[in-house]
């Protein structure tokens, strides 16, 4: 046999990957997570999603504040302090008007006052609309962070599967080559083998060591990243299965552009921002007009050492109980500064509208680029799959020819090498296609297209 047998071993190692995978899986203990479970864990534990949820709760609290604050404009006051003894009436008193005397006693007073709005020309309702729109912005921000982390999870998950499939291929080939190196070394020692072929085979074996180390590094890095994304502490591993193509079939580009207009969080955030800015503009315009409200008040004061005056025409600041209600009109007459505030709000509306146009255009470019990448990956995968079938047919025909004597053993070199390379190219193309579909899902905001099982 010649050095080309190494490629045969690499090719046959591909066919023997499944038993090796089962043996490798049996050595690993602890829980294993599939892709769907990893995505759910990332949604639950990823810090960026928690940040977005906290900001959303803040916006929801602002909504509650906006609904309750206009009807909570009440103030309670109270006080207690010393007061001099004052006797008599408004006509005669034996005491003077001195504030500090030798005869002092405690006096106190409490009161509550406020207003309940009746008509504000849209100030309250526009405030509510702005707060509700901000909540929608927060909800879409959470979806944005979820889409981003899902893409990272899928990239790491598929990367682990690709690295492990490559490792299975390399390990099995290394074991078979090691056996052949031993046999060839024995033949060289006996003077029957080709020492040049032995050196070539050993060099190729070292190349496999390098490739295996690289695959291990990629696997470890992807696994560490996936552990962080999912928030799992302690032992962590994913379900052991071969890398398979995402079952999603690409549709026309227009379908994904329409999906992005419907589902992309950044576009929906811009739309909600426009609604919020329009509500703020209406709020500023409503400030040109007055507020109509019902004013309510109640006050009680008591000074035991001060004679309570019963005459209603006499002001008694020490002993009284007053309550009442009235129709109140409040009108802030700062029309010139208010017109400037209205102009600022109108400019903010135009700003967010420009942001929406930018988002629509930018998202369309992202979707188109992701679609082109996915379509290219699909074409490459189909081509590599066809090439793999042809290489397998070539390999089988040469093997059959060797068995019947029409081919020499050296003739197996080229078909074996091509079969191994085409198999690895197919694995890489599957990875590229799956990642491209994940990017397309992230670009459109249409996560259901991934169809993970």
Assign 84 to helix, strand or coil: strand
Q: How confident is the model at residue 10 (pLDDT cuts 50, 70, 90)?
A: very low
- How much is the average pLDDT of 395-410? 77
Among 47-56, 134-143, 174-183, 364-373, name the one with the lowest average pLDDT.
174-183
Host H or E run for residue 300? strand 291-302
Whether residue 93 lies inside any domain: the answer is no
Q: What is the 3-state secondary structure (H, E, C) of 13-80?
A: HHHCHHHHHHHHHHHCCCCCECHHHHHHHHHHHCHHHHHHHHHHHHHHHHHHHHHHHHHCCEEEEEEE
Average pLDDT over residues 313-319: 79
Q: Answer whether residue 96 is part of any domain.
A: no
> What pLDDT score does 122 carry?
93
**Mean pLDDT for the stretch of residues 212-235:** 92
How far is residue 340's CA from residue 345's CA, in Å, rounded to a whole number?
Answer: 9
The residue among 256 and 421 whose pLDDT is bigger is 256
The pLDDT score that the predictor gives to residue 56 is 97
Domain count, the chain: 1
Segment 276-288 shows an average pLDDT of: 96
CATH code, domain with 284: 1.20.1600.10
Q: How far is CA 68 from CA 107, 128, 286, 298, 335, in A?
A: 35, 10, 19, 22, 27
- Judged against a pLDDT cut of 80, whether residue 236 lies above it is answered with yes
The size of the chain, in residues, is 453
272 inside domain: yes
Task: Please report whether residue 314 resides in a domain.
Answer: yes
Residue range 12-66, pLDDT digits in tens: 444 334 444 544 544 555 688 999 999 999 999 999 999 999 999 999 999 999 9
Would you say residue 94 lies in a domain?
no
Q: The dihedral of CA 377, 381, 387, 391: what is its sign?
A: positive
d(CA 195, CA 240): 41
Q: How far apart are the first and last CA of the chain?
A: 45
Please give the average per-residue pLDDT across 353-365, as a whole number: 95
162 contacts 428 by C-beta, under 8 angstroms: yes
pLDDT at 30: 63
Residue 168 CB burial class (10 angstroms; 0-12, 13-18, ≥19): buried
Q: Is residue 136 part of a domain?
A: yes
Q: What is the mean pLDDT of residues 111-138?
A: 95
How many whole angstroms separate alpha carbon 160 and alpha carbon 149?
Answer: 17
pTM of the model: 0.81
The per-residue pLDDT for 14 is 41
Tell me which of 414 and 160 has the higher pLDDT.
Answer: 160
Average pLDDT score, the chain:
86
Domain that holds residue 57: 5-87+103-448
How far apart are alpha carbons 442 and 374 in whole angstroms? 13
pLDDT at 95: 62
Residue 208 CA to chain centroid, in angstroms?
A: 39
In a domain, 92, yes or no: no
Instruction: Give domain status of residue 98, yes or no.
Output: no
Residue 227 above 60 pLDDT? yes
413 pLDDT band (50/70/90 cuts)? low
pLDDT in tens, 153-198: 999 999 999 999 999 888 877 777 777 778 778 777 877 777 787 7
**CA–CA separation, 104 and 83 (whole Å):** 5
Round to whole Å and give the CA distance between 263 and 265. Answer: 6
């Amino acid at each position: 046999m010649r050095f080309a047998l190494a490629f045969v071993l690499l090719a046959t190692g591909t066919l023997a990957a499944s038993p090796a995978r089962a043996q490798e899986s049996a050595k690993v203990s602890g829980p294993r997570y599939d892709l769907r479970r990893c995505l759910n864990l990332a949604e639950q534990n990823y810090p960026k999603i928690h940040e977005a949820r906290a900001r959303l709760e803040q916006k929801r609290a602002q909504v509650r504040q906006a609904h309750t604050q206009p009807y909570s404009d009440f103030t309670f006051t109270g006080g207690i302090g010393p007061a001099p003894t004052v006797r008599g009436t408004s006509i005669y008193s034996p005491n003077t008007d001195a504030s500090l005397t030798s005869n002092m006693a405690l006096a106190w007073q409490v009161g509550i006052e406020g207003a309940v709005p009746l008509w504000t020309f849209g100030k309250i309702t526009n405030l509510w609309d702005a707060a509700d729109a901000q909540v929608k912005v927060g909800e879409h921000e959470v979806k944005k962070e979820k889409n981003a982390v899902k893409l990272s999870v899928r990239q790491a998950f598929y990367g682990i599967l690709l690295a492990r499939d490559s490792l299975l291929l390399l390990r099995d080939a290394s074991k078979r080559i090691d056996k052949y190196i031993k046999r060839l070394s024995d033949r060289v020692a006996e003077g029957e083998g080709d020492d040049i072929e032995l050196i070539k085979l050993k060099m190729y074996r070292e190349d496999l060591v390098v490739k295996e180390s690289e695959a291990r590094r990629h696997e470890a890095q992807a696994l560490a990243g996936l552990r962080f994304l999912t928030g799992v502490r302690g032992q962590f591993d994913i379900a052991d299965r071969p890398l398979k193509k995402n079952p999603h079939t690409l549709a026309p580009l227009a379908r994904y552009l329409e999906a992005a207009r419907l589902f992309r969080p950044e576009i929906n955030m811009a739309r909600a921002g426009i609604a919020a800015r329009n509500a703020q503009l209406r709020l500023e315009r409503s400030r040109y007009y007055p507020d109509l409200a019902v004013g309510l008040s109640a006050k009680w004061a008591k000074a035991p050492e001060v004679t309570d005056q019963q005459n209603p025409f006499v002001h008694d600041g020490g002993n009284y109980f007053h309550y009442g209600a009235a129709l109140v009109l409040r009108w802030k007459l700062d029309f010139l500064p208010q017109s400037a505030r209205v102009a600022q709000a109108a400019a903010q509306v135009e700003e967010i509208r420009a942001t929406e146009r930018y988002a629509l255009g930018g998202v369309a470019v992202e979707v188109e680029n992701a679609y082109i990448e996915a379509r290219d990956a699909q074409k490459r995968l189909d081509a590599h799959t066809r090439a793999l079938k042809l290489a397998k047919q070539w390999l089988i025909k040469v093997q059959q020819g060797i068995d019947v004597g029409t081919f020499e053993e050296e003739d197996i070199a080229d078909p074996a090498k091509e079969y191994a390379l085409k198999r690895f190219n197919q694995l890489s193309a599957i990875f590229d296609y799956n990642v491209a579909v994940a990017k397309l899902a992230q670009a459109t905001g249409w996560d259901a297209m991934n169809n993970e099982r």
